[in-house]
Amino acid sequence: MENPSLITRLMQWTQRLVMSILGPADRADGETPVIHRNDDREIASKEQLADIDVERDNEGHSWAFRKTRPEN
């Protein structure tokens, strides 16, 4: 079996390494609303998703299908 102190030391070393590279975790206020920008990509995504229906069954499975078939 592995030595718990070795694992603990490895985890602490990894935490110090990550903190030195990335810095502390962002602790932003969770109550601040997210600002959505309606850029071209978001508008295109909404247009694509408007043609898709998502259904779910009683067991939690979900699937999607297009409302209209694309014309060839």
- pLDDT for residue 27: 67
Query: Could you give the CA distance from residue 23 to residue 17 in angstroms, rounded to a whole number?
Result: 9
Residue 4 inside a domain? The answer is no
- pLDDT for residue 23: 85
- pLDDT for residue 72: 62
Checking if the pLDDT of 64 tops 60, the result is: yes
Residue 5 inside a domain? The answer is no
Residue 59 inside a domain? The answer is yes
Instruction: Tell me the per-residue pLDDT of 4-58, one tens digit each, with 9 for 90 and over.
Output: 788 899 999 999 999 999 888 776 777 777 777 778 988 888 888 888 998 999 9
Query: Could you give the CA distance from residue 65 to residue 52 in angstroms, rounded to a whole number?
Result: 6
The residue type of 63 is W
HSE (side-chain half, CA atoms, 13 Å) at 48: 6
Looking at residue 65, what DSSP letter applies? E
Domain that holds residue 59: 41-72
* β 62-66/52-56 pair status: antiparallel
Residue 3 inside a domain? The answer is no
- pLDDT for residue 70: 62
Instruction: Give residue 2's pLDDT band: very low, low, confident or very high (50, 70, 90).
Output: low
